[in-house]
Amino acid sequence: MTKTRDILRKLINPFTTRHDSGNKVNKEESIEAIVEFERKAFRYDTLVTATRNFSEKLGEGGFGPVFKGQLEDGREVAVKRLAVGSRQGENQFANEASLLSGVQHKNVVHLYGFCINGADRLLVYEYVANESLDKILFACSNDCPKRAELNWQRRYSIMLAVAKGLLYLHEGTQTPIIHRDIKAANILLDQRWVPKIADFGMARLFPEDESHVNTRVAGTNGYMAPEYLMHGWLSPKADVYSFGVVVLELVTGCRCHSFVPLPGTDAKNLLEWAWMLYKERRVLEMVDPKIRPNLDLAQVSTCVHIGLLCTQAEPKQRPDMRRISILFTKQPSTLEEPSRPGIPGRRYTSRPHLTSGTLDSSRNSLSSSGSGTGSSSYSTLASTSASALASSSKGKGLQL
């Protein structure tokens, strides 16, 4: 138990770093945090019983397999089991357990607890019944009957609810949390189509008095903000950018990183296409043909507008999540005009330090190192990263 306690102490560090002046109140807070953590510690045999010896696999992510289970009190759970021997998984486990333990919001997946048993690491979440958004939104209707149920009203509600979840993470927790990997695959839907933001393996705390954190870049290509992808500058506005991409995916039904250019346009990616149609006042043409009947056109226009505002190249030009939640209630004509979004391959006008990319093994991700000067373009980054990719055996799955 002492070893487990040591691990728990390490896990709660993120919640105590803000109060490390050593006074009595802070010590009491730390003790409360440890007690709260221990309350969340599951016995291994409880999870073996709950999952009937890990017999029903729900899926498999970068972290390892996820199993369905039911606790003695009747709660259905999803149990994520760390792939044994994975250092990356070990870090993600610590990160997810520590950050998510202090979080409770109806649009953020609830972490019931975790289990440390020898080398085994498990995370226990509420079970979310309706799969991840990407599996429904990007499925072919014949393969996925639920796709036909994902009508405009549902998509709109999902955008609003994810915005609320992100607002909570950025402003409603003791220290703001940046998710870093907002994408359709990390939004789980419950049986009433209520979205839950999931997968906090890469999330970071964001100190209030900082404008950004410099960090290794890890995320999913197509959803990562320019300043973060190129320079490792992380702020809540990186999540805002990713959210904007998800909004445009929900409107169009197109996956950002496998966008197929349509006949008659030279747009090479989703953002460029959305921008082009927006400028030409042809917003309706970008709407997923499956949901065109019964559209609320004003809502659609507002959402496209928000998607473009969120994906502006300059973080300062992007609204924060509080403002975004308000923007959803506005008429499109009352919203500020977006300019061209931060599109890969286009010039990024900040005065950044160009970082060369080396690959992080976790998923479609880059980690930054080194620096240079001058303004740079995504295409420069793309070629830098492409050579990193060529010279790295860890680079599977990166698309630029």
Nearest approach, Cβ of residue 201 and ligand ATP (Å): 7
Q: Rule CB under 6 A: which of 184-213 touch ligand ATP?
A: 185-186, 188, 198-199
| Alpha-helical regions (H) of the chain | 2-16, 24-39, 44-50, 87-101, 133-137, 152-167, 226-231, 236-252, 270-279, 297-310, 321-327, 378-391
Q: Rule CB under 6 A: which of 358-387 touch ligand ATP?
A: 363
Nearest approach, Cβ of residue 153 and ligand ATP (Å): 24
107 counts as binding ligand ATP under rule CB under 6 A? no
Supply φ then ψ for residue 307, to 5 degrees: -55, -40
Nearest approach, Cβ of residue 183 and ligand ATP (Å): 8
Which contiguous run of DSSP H or E holds residue 346? Answer: none
Q: Which is nearer to ligand ATP, 152 or 200 (CB)?
A: 200
Q: Rule CB under 6 A: which of 229-248 touch ligand ATP?
A: none
Segment interacting with ligand ATP, rule: CB under 6 A, options 127-135, 243-251, 293-301, 321-329: 127-135
90 counts as binding ligand ATP under rule CB under 6 A? no
Q: Which residue is nearest to ligand ATP (CB)?
A: 61
| Interface map 59-88 toward ligand ATP (x if CB under 6 A) | xxxxx--x-----------x-x--------
Count the residues of the shown chain that bind ligand ATP, applying the rule CB under 6 A. Answer: 21
| Alpha-helical regions (H) of 17-86 | 24-39, 44-50
Q: How far apart are CA 274 and CA 385, in angstroms?
A: 26
Nearest approach, Cβ of residue 160 and ligand ATP (Å): 21
Q: How far apart are CA 126 and CA 103, in angstroms?
A: 13
Q: Which is nearer to ligand ATP, 105 or 363 (CB)?
A: 363
Q: How far apart are CA 56 and CA 58, in angstroms?
A: 6
Q: Which is nearer to ligand ATP, 3 or 87 (CB)?
A: 87
Q: Of 193, 159, 219, 230, whose CA–CA distance to 363 is shortest?
A: 219
125 counts as binding ligand ATP under rule CB under 6 A? yes
342 counts as binding ligand ATP under rule CB under 6 A? no
Nearest approach, Cβ of residue 235 and ligand ATP (Å): 22
Contacts of 274-281 with CB under 8 Å at 24 or more apart are: 274/248, 274/304, 274/307, 274/308, 274/341, 275/308, 275/338, 275/340, 275/341, 275/343, 278/304, 278/305, 278/308, 278/338
109 counts as binding ligand ATP under rule CB under 6 A? yes
Q: Rule CB under 6 A: which of 264-303 touch ligand ATP?
A: none
Segment interacting with ligand ATP, rule: CB under 6 A, options 57-65, 168-176, 322-330, 332-340: 57-65
Segment interacting with ligand ATP, rule: CB under 6 A, options 2-10, 31-39, 128-136, 337-345: 128-136
> For the packed helices 297-310 and 270-279, what is the interaxial angle rounded to 10 degrees?
120
Q: How far apart are CA 376 and CA 357, in angstroms?
A: 14
Q: Of 182, 140, 186, 150, whose CA–CA distance to 287 is shortest?
A: 150
Nearest approach, Cβ of residue 161 and ligand ATP (Å): 16
Which contiguous run of DSSP H or E holds residue 57? Answer: strand 57-60
Kind of pairing, strands 347-348 and 376-377? Answer: antiparallel
CA dihedral 315, 320, 325, 331 (to 10 degrees): -50
Out of 127, 193, 241, 259, point to the residue binding ligand ATP (CB under 6 A).
127
Mind telling me the catalytic residues?
181
The distance between the two most distant Cα atoms of the chain, rounded to a whole number of Å, is: 68
Nearest approach, Cβ of residue 125 and ligand ATP (Å): 4
- What number of CA atoms fall less than 13 Å from residue 340's CA on the CB side? 13
179 counts as binding ligand ATP under rule CB under 6 A? no
Segment interacting with ligand ATP, rule: CB under 6 A, options 39-47, 121-129, 298-306, 325-333: 121-129
- Which two structure tokens, joined as six digits, stand for 207? 């100190």
Segment interacting with ligand ATP, rule: CB under 6 A, options 56-64, 151-159, 329-337, 344-352: 56-64
The footprint of ligand ATP (CB under 6 A) covers: 58-63, 66, 78, 80, 109, 125, 127-128, 131-132, 185-186, 188, 198-199, 363
